[in-house]
Structure 1
């Protein structure tokens, strides 16, 4: 398909796909969510074949416990946004990679390398809530739309069986998986934009608080990251800066505390890793 035709197709579809997300921001993403969910599930299945699942029973129990509480709160607060999600959580045994993601469709990956930085159950809830925010706020959809325009990779917007049906070669597939948030397995890391990161921070701190976790753990995550230096792990090496994120999260604390105060059950900081 001619790239000019592709661009025209994307532009016309995007005009029809403007919507307001749960944070009140108008966003533009033309990819059908069912297609993105399928792409996310395929990438997640590939990663489970490539990375070992952690055998640390205690850490695994904590990860699944935190995930379940956040998932239940998502179903309660955002039922239409997560209606098609097939939730699944994995703790990958990779202590050298401080990483986490939540794919469109509810596939969540946590790397053991992020747990010492989280320190507590509540810290993990902050990280996980942030990543779930990317999925619910359709940040991956926005980035995939941009990626498709950039690469001219669209062959059709109809029903497809897999990611490869649309993107074909591994290089392009990796770029799109990077846009979805799980490109590390392809050697592709695409940071979310400054606006997306700030929006996910705001979403995540409120979600964790509503689920009963002390939101003060959220800015502490960035304090911990700051100790690792400016050239810290790629998971956190995105804009805005550590200091700005700490400042923004602390500014959001009063609103987050209102969610925490209304939580039916409070877990505080929870268990330590």
Structure 2
């Protein structure tokens, strides 16, 4: 104890009251003009989540909705390549103007750094980047802002949900057991963060031989749908594996628009429609 001249006795009273923990949601700010923020996530990398995100955004835009796409994969931004745009965004009145391609407004760290340059940041810098992409970009009036998350359950996911209200999440997987096990972890994460999961998508579900039309289930089949049902989640649909999907991504031409009559493009368009329905159901509180 510290001795204080003239003080001979000290009485200390304690109570059982504790300070209420700070609510992380207190930092959440609605994005002006944006009706619904939707997270596109996966537990595992390599399942085609960014390909799905780009094509869902393009399909929704083609259906007449106002769509934005945020590439939140700070370490591995691929959307500039997949959408075929590489120029830097401009600034107006202190806000970043998103670029537009295929009817979709989008923003990505890949637009701000040189191609091939690695982004080596710790968590606080990631948090700042997500905050800037949400609140310092002039997204304008949007029906949907899709956020393409990095794989896993890390800092970016937490930062997004702390920074703004997320109306719902979609989890992308492949039929393989490893991918599905990690997808379940992503579902669990969204549940803990009180973000409703609108459904699961099974990508690379099967391959149809162009010569004989035989269907080949390269990565197993049906696991995504079965797990979605087991978890009580909607299954939004299955997307087949096809070289055109990869070519479209490499060349910056979303296959859902370039080959709209193909089986894989129709599958993506159906999923976009199902997603819009789930958002509507979630909004009015009956699903």
TM-score, normalising length: structure 2: 0.24
TM-score, normalising length: structure 1: 0.25
Which is helix-richer, 1 or 2? 1
For CA contacts below 8 A with separation 6 or more, give which structure has more relative contact order.
2
